[in-house]
Amino acid sequence: MNLLFAIDDNVTQQLMTTLYSIKQNSTFEKYSVYVIQDQKLRKNDEIKSFCQKLGMHYHPVIIDDDQFDDAPTTDRYPKTIYYRLLAYKYLPKNIKRILYLDIDILVINDLKPLYTIDLKNYWYAAASHTSLDVTDNINKLRLGNYEAEGYFNSGIMLMDLQAIRENVKAEDIFNYINKMGATLLLPDQDILNGLYGQNIMRIPDELYNYDARMNPLYYAKSNGEWDIDWVIDHTAILHFCGRDKPWRPEYKERFSGLYKHYQRKAGLL
């Protein structure tokens, strides 16, 4: 399984926690971990050693161009978020499929059903969050893409790199950034949805992109079926969206203890 991340020096420990959870709960024999970075990470050697202990192959991908220097960024959305949009430019040409993951996730069940899904003619597979369903039409209007099946979260994306190489162009992305300007609220995610939303296969968020903030909504939507026991048995990816993160001492939400358990185990390797 090919895994893709895009990080800076602030979240290397979180990357290792995520990788540990993947290794513990997925059934692939081989893992290649590609980490896109704006500058060489200070802990590259530590990450490499950690991956070796997990039996994973680590591939740092250091970006040496300035093409996104003028793109909108914030403290929550650094320049590295854009690199996933053009990941095919920086990855080996022989890779056909890769799974992009944010580092604020925890994998608690097997990723193989997601990674091996038939993408048909879609370029990506991603989830549209339960909590955002009511805003889908607003986002389509805001971004000018009425053909998309929903507003997709870019934190977990299965990518058909062959199709993306043929169709996703840097100039289209830059032109869209210039056109939309301040309309882009979640920069790379808005670009993904605005330009390519119609090329994204919808996958169930309760399985592959469970928003850890939204337990009551999931419970209500399922008429009480998706309780914590169901999540532990069926959900593959917990996503800790938003500003509050489970590695912070003050985080006390549901699944905080589960995250800290994996964080501690990863730190003992």
**In sequence order, what are the residues at sequence separation of 6 or more whose Cβ sits closer than 8 angstroms to the Cβ of residue 82?**
68, 71, 173, 187, 188, 191
Q: What pTM was computed for the model?
A: 0.89
- Residue 89: Cβ within 10 Å count: 15
pLDDT of residue 165: 96
| Distance (Å, whole) CA 169 – CA 233 | 40
Low-confidence residues in the chain, pLDDT < 70 = 65, 67-68, 70-81, 130-150, 182-184, 186-187
Domains and CATH numbers, the chain: 2-267 (3.90.550.10)
